[in-house]
Amino acid sequence: MSHQEFFRDAETRQCKMVFPGTLNANETLFGGELMKWMDEVAFICATRATRQKMFTAKVENVEFICPVQENSIAEVVANVKNAGGVKLEVEVEIFSEPLYSNEKALSARALFVMTALNEKNKVTRLTIPELLHSIK
């Protein structure tokens, strides 16, 4: 069983509305706001997948593909792509769709490396028996 199949139920989707308060000087979604949304959904996905305390250790391969316009819906989608002893790689994509159009476009994507923490907030191993058995 692949990691994607194993973690299928952890897929997380969240829709956000792009209002004027989230715009940059170019009148498109501010990149920092977009990254905040992506990080939140990556965290939820990783926590759903492991049911452990998780945190963002690293963000890789950030791509801003096309701007997200005001009055658009931004759908943030996260899926576990890979797992190791202490970390999960969660791919997060943002799709944008204007409110009054059927168009939908991939606007951004990134790979979030999420790490498990113990009760003392120290990095710890993932404790998913079925997963650990499959990656030995």
CATH of the domain at 18: 3.10.129.10
Summarised one tens digit per residue, pLDDT across range 27-60 is: 999 999 999 999 999 999 999 999 999 999 999 9
Which domain range does residue 70 map to? 3-134
Counting the structural domains of the chain, the total is: 1
Nearest one of 91, 81, 86, 90 to 128, comparing CA atoms: 86
Nearest one of 29, 95, 84, 76 to 58, comparing CA atoms: 84
Q: Determine the Cα–Cα distance for residues 104 and 98; give it in Å rounded to an integer.
A: 8
SS3 annotation, 13-29: EEEEECCHHHECCCCEE
Q: Which residues pair with 123 in a beta bridge?
A: 117
Summarised one tens digit per residue, pLDDT across range 51-62 is: 999 999 999 999
